Amino acid sequence: MDWKQKLTSRKLWMAVAGLTMGLIAFFGADENTAQTVGGLIMALASVVGYIFGEGLVDAARAEGVSKNDD
């Protein structure tokens, strides 16, 4: 399984946010709390996606430099 691809997937983060919001509502918290937590999860997803994306770009750049050194 390619964890880098999974962790940068918007579908995964939407599913996590939806599940979390559903569980919060199920356990009786108000709608405002569910929306706040869902927003927090999506903000976290943006950060994780950015970090992995930049890591992949940096790795590709480093690999290109090392191939040109040969």
Query: What residues contact 57, with CB distance under 8 A and at least 6 apart?
Result: none
pLDDT value for 12:
82
pLDDT value for 66:
64
Question: Distance (Å, rounded) from C-alpha 30 to C-alpha 16?
Answer: 19
Task: Count Cβ atoms below 10 Å from residue 68 Cβ, excluding itself.
Answer: 7
Ranges in the chain, pLDDT < 50: none
Indicate yes or no: pTM above 0.75.
no
Q: What phi and psi values does residue 32 have, to the nearest 5 degrees?
A: -60, -40
